[in-house]
Amino acid sequence: MSTPTTGQAGADTYRPGSTIADWRPEDTSFWQSVGRKVANRNLWISIPALMLGFVVWQVWSVTVVRLGDVGFGFSKSQLFWLTAIPGITGGTFRILYTFIGPMFGERKFTALSTLVLVVPMLWLGLALQDTSTPYWEMALIAAVCGIGGANFSSSMANIGFFFPKREKGSANGLNGGLGNLGVSVVQLVAPLVVTAAVLGAPAGDPQRDTVKNKDVWLQNGAFLWVPLLVIMALLAWFFMNDLKVAAAPFSQQKVIFKRKHNWLMTWLYVGTFGSFIGFAAGLPMLIKDNFQAQGYQATTYAWIGPAVGAFTRWAGGWLADKVGGARVTMLSFVGMAASLVVVIMALPHSGDQGSFWAFYIGFLCAFFFSGIGNGSTFRQIPVIFRNQHTQEAADKGPDAQAAALKQSEMEAGAVTGFSAAIAAYGFFFIPAMFANFSVTSSLWVFIAFYVTCLAVCWWFYARKGAEAPS
């Protein structure tokens, strides 16, 4: 590895596992000689670690659809609540992880926050082998699984520091998008591994599926991820880096609560990511309740929607880098609203069986546009804060400009994590609304919310003369 052109730091400074004090991604020569390789190494370890966090967070969305088949006597409402509960802890712990990561060191924190997820996976695997496991214990396990979703806030804030402004959208899109793919991975893989004793005797005895009249190993859907979590924790510990520029005590980070654009961008991200994660959690049960009688299985179809949203997140970040984040974010809200209208029209009504394929395609489109918006909003955040701080430091000399840039990076990272934390509550609220209100009325509420998001994005970020064009 080459030495930076300034000559202040040698190659050993940037070795795997080290703490990096000199980090200047906006310096072209530094980026070409040192920065890109180090940033990409951290990115490609962060992605699978984050993906496993989403696996743990979303494991209940696919687990609940099989509980009744093997003898767990939980009601429809109870099953929806088991799907929703991880959203509460996921969102709450995201708030904590937003501020703890920079205080603790993101390399160390990524490793430890990944390793701790072994606990709920072992607990869930054991509980699923006993149909007398009480509901309160299942709910507690679901709450602990929610911690997996918290890793997103610290991960996204961390990766943003590694890349220059011109590549932040793509980098965050890859990290978040492929990390989000964990939702589809668990919804695709778990139903497959529970059908056979693929983990052998150590995984335990099977349960009897009374609907299909065959043995299943529901615990495999939890135990499978344990060795992978351990491996990724070790890779993060030994091969990622801590950045001193990303380190910040809470006393410095809390300034974001005074920033108007923290709250506005959080509102927008609730609309994009909150929809993505809430629909991913609720879709399996929606398919089961509305279309299973017609022969459509949730485990066959549900995983594709989150996969679409995960892949289009990168596209949203890339497109935002090219044409501007605000424009792409507005497109996402228009697309999501139109998609949900299709879903509403396709649901069963008054004895009509509805149209599964129109329902399903409508949801796939909703996932597509939510992914686009997830990528574009996270590109907007660093642009907004960078522009505001550098404009305030204009004509004040290079030292003031450097200080403004560092402050903007710190605030953008904290806002990224905080907005992700609040949006994660969509995981709870959307399934909870489906459990307590009609699906149709819930979807109309979401559409009305998208209209408010569209207005906010246009007024503050997209229109001519906007306060913070992004």
**pLDDT at position 95:** 87
| CB-CB contact of 131 with 69 (8 Å) | no
Q: Please check whether residue 468 lies inside any domain of the structure.
A: no
Residue that has been written with the tokens 């394929």 in this structure: 357
Confidence (pLDDT) at 2: 39
For residue 436, tell me if it sits in a domain. Answer: yes
Q: How many CB atoms lie within 10 A of CB 177?
A: 24
Q: How far apart are CA 56 and CA 143, in angstroms?
A: 11
**Spatial distance between the Cα atoms of 361 and 374, rounded to a whole number of angstroms:** 20
Q: Please, is 141 exposed, middle or buried when counting C-beta atoms within 10 Å of its C-beta (0-12, 13-18, 19+)?
A: buried
Average pLDDT over residues 215-226: 92
Cα 103 to chain centroid, rounded: 22
Q: Where are the beta strands (DSSP E) in 8-136?
A: 19-20
Q: Please report the pLDDT score of residue 11 as a whole number.
A: 54
Strands 207-209 and 214-216: antiparallel
Question: Which residue has tokens 């979807």?
Answer: 443
> Residue 164's pLDDT is what?
87
Using alpha carbons, list the distances in angstroms from residue 217 to 108, 199, 406. 34, 9, 51
CATH number at residue 196: 1.20.1250.20
Q: What confidence tier does 231 reach under pLDDT thresholds 50, 70, 90?
A: very high
Q: Which amino acid is at 118?
A: V
Residue 247: is its pLDDT beyond 90?
A: no
19 in a structural domain: no
Beta-carbon contacts of residue 4 (< 8 Å; ≥ 6 apart): 22, 24, 27, 29, 30, 33, 34
pLDDT tens sequence across 269-312: 999 999 998 998 889 889 988 998 888 988 889 899 999 998 89
Instruction: Report DSSP state, residue 458.
Output: I
Residue 380 and residue 320 in contact, taking contact as beta carbons nearer than 8 Å: yes
The DSSP code for 10 is: -
Q: Could you tell me the sign of the dihedral formed by the alpha carbons of 296, 301, 302, 308, in that order?
A: negative
Say if residue 5's pLDDT is above 80: no
Question: Residue 235's pLDDT is what?
Answer: 97
Q: Is residue 418 part of a domain?
A: yes
Q: What is the pLDDT of residues 127-184, one digit of tens each?
A: 999 999 999 999 999 999 999 999 988 888 788 789 887 887 788 878 888 888 998 9
Whether the predicted pLDDT of 12 surpasses 70: no
Residue labelled with tokens 């997820």: 117
Give the list of residues 6+ apart from residue 201 with CB closer than 8 angstroms, or none: none
Q: Residue 394, SS3?
A: coil
Residue 412 and residue 2: Cα distance in Å, rounded?
Answer: 30
Taking a C-beta distance cutoff of 8 angstroms, is the pair 162, 39 a contact? yes
Number of domains making up the chain: 1
Which residues sit opposite 215 in a β-bridge? Answer: 208
Residue 93 in domain: yes
With vertex at residue 433, the alpha carbon angle to CA 427 and CA 439, rounded to the nearest 5 degrees, is 115
Range of the domain at 160: 38-235+253-462
Is 6 inside a domain boundary? no
6: pLDDT strictly greater than 80: no
* Residue 262 pLDDT level (bands cut at 50, 70, 90): very high
Nearest Cα residue to 429 out of 264, 266, 270: 270
Kindly report, residue by residue over 322-377, the tens digit of the pLDDT.
899 999 999 999 999 999 999 999 999 877 889 999 999 999 999 999 999 998 99
- In total, the chain counts a number of residues equal to 470
Q: For the whole model, what pTM was predicted?
A: 0.80
> Is there a domain that residue 297 lies in?
yes
Can you give the pLDDT at residue 212? 82
C-alpha–C-alpha distance, residues 150 and 94, integer Å: 4
Establish if 5 belongs to a structural domain.
Answer: no
| pLDDT beyond 60 at 250 | yes
What is the C-alpha to C-alpha distance for residues 194 and 384, in angstroms, rounded to an integer?
A: 46
